[in-house]
Amino acid sequence: MDKLFVVVLFVCFSSTRLISVADGVPVNERAEQGTITANAFYQLGELAVCTTGLNLIEGGLAYNHYGCYCGLGGAGTPLDATDTCCYVHDNCYTHSPCSINVFQYSIPYKKSVSSCGTADATITCKKASDYPWYYGSEKDCAEAICNCDKDLAYCFRETRSTYNEAYRNWSNSKC
């Protein structure tokens, strides 16, 4: 029963934009944009699941509110290598070619994955030319955001052994 409650709670929160994994938008900007979607959460989560071997719920619970940069907001100095992954991801989104910030957190992208759950897990993002239905910079945006998320997923895999439970559910007020 407890697991069912956690799953239901997680799905409800993610669909109402309350939970996200390492999406990297400062709280004040997120409130203005109102753009974190369940799709964006799922896309990033799916890649992290592939590289870390965690399931979507475990990954969400492990990385959301981890340190100063994983999850909502971001301030101060990253606390460790995992938190630095999220800091770099935030900056990757910031420097993406997306013409409108809303695309960073809502644009669907295409990718292929293989050997998920193993040390050989690979993620390949589709090129901008693989998005004929997008116009102008939206094509480049989709490719860039996928690559940002892919890099974060690989970084989580690389830093998994140094993950520090003490930084889980870390309050941004400490950053």
pLDDT at 10: 37
Q: Which two tokens stand for residue 28?
A: 């004040």
pTM for this prediction: 0.77
Choice among 29-38, 73-82, 122-131, 155-164 with the minimum mean pLDDT: 29-38
By annotation, the residues acting in catalysis are 89, 149
141 contacts: CB under 8 Å, gap ≥ 6: 96, 97, 98, 99, 103, 104, 107, 134
Q: Which two tokens stand for residue 99?
A: 């013409």
Whether pLDDT at 150 is above 90: yes
Please check whether residue 68 is in contact with residue 78, taking contact to mean a CB–CB distance below 8 angstroms.
Answer: yes
Q: Could you tell me what percent of the chain has a pLDDT over 90? A: 57
Distance CA 152, CA 137 (A): 22
The per-residue pLDDT of the chain, averaged, comes to 80
Triad 3, 8, 12: Cα angle to 5° = 150
Structure-model confidence comparison of residues 121 and 104, the more confident one = 121
Show the 3-state SS of 76-140.
CCCCCHHHHHHHHHHHHHHCCCCCCHHHHHHCCCCEEEECCCCCCCEEEECCHHHCCCCCCHHHH
Count of C-beta atoms within a 10 Å radius of residue 115: 11
- 86 CB-near residues (< 8 Å, 6+ apart): 22, 24, 63, 66, 67, 69, 70, 71, 74, 78, 152
The amino acid present at 54, given as its one-letter code, is L
Q: Point out the annotated binding site for Ca(2+).
A: 69, 71, 73, 90
| Alpha carbons 50 and 48: distance in angstroms, whole number | 5
Report all structural domains of the chain as residue ranges with CATH numbers, in order of start.
2-163 (1.20.90.10)
DSSP lists the bridge partners of residue 123 as 113
- pLDDT category at 70 given cuts 50, 70, 90 is very high
pLDDT at residue 137, as a whole number: 84
Task: Pick 14 or 115 by higher pLDDT.
Answer: 115
Q: What is the pLDDT of residue 19?
A: 35
pLDDT digits (tens, 9 = 90+) for 17-31: 333 333 333 333 333
Report the binding-site residues.
Answer: 69, 71, 73, 90
